[in-house]
Amino acid sequence: MIPDAFEPWLLLLFAGILPTLIWRMGGVVLGRSIAESSPVFDWVRFVAATLLAGVVAKLLFDPSGALATVPAYGRFGGIAAALAAFFLSGRRAIAGIVAGQAVLLASYFIGR
Amino acid sequence: MHGVSPAQLTTFRAVLKGVRDALSLPAPMVAAGLLGVGPLAHAVGHPLGVAVASTLFIWAGPGQIIFFGGIAAGLSPLGIALAVGLSAVRFLPMTISMLPLIRRPGQSLGELLYLSHFVTVTIWSEGLRRLPPLHPSNRVPYYIGFGHTCVVLSGFATGVGYLMTGSAPQALAAALLFLSPLFFTVSIAAGIRRVADVAAIAAGFFLQPLASRLIGPELDLLAVGLIGGTAAFMLDRARNSA
């Protein structure tokens, strides 16, 4: 099906932008009524950190597009290498990124 | 750093510092990750403008991947909206935890809603680390400089990625898509301050595949976040009171 001129824009608005927007706006509306010293802030921070780790797991276990052509050991090994390099380099983000990509690309060329 | 009161910059200098810090690594990294979204939009026959607008207005890599991936898979518009919406649930707690840092006296609701649009994994984790040491009056200007730099550079990158579709080797395309999880991982690791942080991260990572199987690929993240996050929170309270 070839989309007509407006269809992609309507789809973007209603199925992409709005479903994302509501959570940020909801956070503002809910968060404004909570005192800054409240332990609720601490709690949501932990929930967010957990969700974040969950998103990483989702992207690794269920990869999309070109990432799916890389062996699983390359994806998981890349993350492990990134963590190791990050901490061994004295918490340098770039060291983690480079190490992770090196392992990923190595696994791509070595293959299964 | 603790105990030393931070120097106050002019608003202009605070914005500039935000721009500069964003360009130092986070913005190029996010932009490179969103470069990978361009070809996904191209593949489903959407125009360049939609690809760029998805970065500017959805402003969430995984959500955009799910959006264009859902179209490619032939999901109904409602199905796409559901999948995108559930992948964005993380923004609710992230925005709430970001609020104390981007609130300022006399601020309108509109300004706060606008500022909340920039909240992403990167800006949240970088913000929690970079904003507290700043003078309170410099935080919003810094955040505005930082946020706009990330969004504008990424929008540009998505456009470039769209136009470059098919001309990049498969290995490069895979590496670009790997940037999101990689940068998420490093950002999470950089935010570790307490034992309970490690517990939260481990819970999220290891419970997710389990939850995906038990609960399904839609509500899994929500369940993992609530259960793991609450457990980590309780662990933290127990350790602090001990």
* Domains of chain A by residue range: 64-112
Ranges of chain B with pLDDT below 70: 1-5, 217-218, 242
Q: What pLDDT does B53 receive? A: 98
Contact A20 B60 (CB under 8 A): yes
State the nearest Cα–Cα gap between A24 and chain B, in angstroms: 5
Q: Which of B59, B85, B128 sits opposite A19 (nearest CB)?
A: B85
Q: What pLDDT does A94 receive? A: 87
Contact A20 B224 (CB under 8 A): no
Contact A56 B224 (CB under 8 A): no
Query: Mind listing the pLDDT tens digit for each residue in B144-160?
Result: 999 999 999 999 999 99
Q: What pLDDT does A98 receive? A: 94
Q: Which residues, numbered 28 to 67 in chain A, qualify as contacts with chain B under a Cβ-Cβ cut-off of 8 Å? A: 28, 30-32, 34, 36, 39-67
Q: Which of B112, B184, B202 sits opposite A52 (nearest CB)?
A: B184
* Residue A49 · residue B191 · CB < 8 Å: yes
The amino acid present at A58, given as its one-letter code, is K
Q: What pLDDT does A24 receive? A: 95
Backbone φ and ψ of B16, nearest 5°: -60, -40
Query: CA-CA distance, B99 to B78, in Å (whole number)?
Result: 31
Contact B182 A12 (CB under 8 A): no
Backbone φ and ψ of B132, nearest 5°: -55, -35
User: What is the DSSP-derived secondary structure letter of residue B36?
Assistant: T
Candidates B135, B183, B154, B163; CA nearest to B42 is B163
Q: What pLDDT does A1 receive? A: 54
Query: CA-CA distance, B173 to A97, in Å (whole number)?
Result: 16
DSSP assignment of B169-193 equals: -HHHHHHHHHHHHHHHHHHHHHT--
Distance of CA A66 to the CA centre of its chain: 16
Whether residue A2 has pLDDT greater than 60: no
Better-scored residue on pLDDT, B193 or A95? A95
Query: CA-CA distance, A99 to B185, in Å (whole number)?
Result: 12
State the nearest Cα–Cα gap between A76 and chain B, in angstroms: 10
Query: Mind listing the pLDDT tens digit for each residue in A46-86?
Result: 888 888 888 889 888 878 777 888 999 999 999 999 999 99
Searching chain A, which residue's CA lies closest to the CA of residue B48? A8
Searching chain A, which residue's CA lies closest to the CA of residue B121? A52
Query: CA-CA distance, A97 to B136, in Å (whole number)?
Result: 31
Can you give the pTM of this predicted structure?
0.78
State the nearest Cα–Cα gap between A23 and chain B, in angstroms: 5
Query: CA-CA distance, B92 to B68, in Å (whole number)?
Result: 23
Q: What pLDDT does B1 receive? A: 46
Query: CA-CA distance, A27 to B93, in Å (whole number)?
Result: 7
Mean pLDDT of chain A: 88
Contact A12 B84 (CB under 8 A): no
Searching chain B, which residue's CA lies closest to the CA of residue A86? B186
- ipTM for this prediction: 0.82
Mutation pick from B87, B115, B182 vs chain A, by most beta carbons of A within 10 Å, is B182
Q: What pLDDT does B221 receive? A: 78
Whether residue A37 has pLDDT greater than 80: no
Candidates B182, B220, B176; CA nearest to A76 is B182
* Residue B236 · residue A45 · CB < 8 Å: no
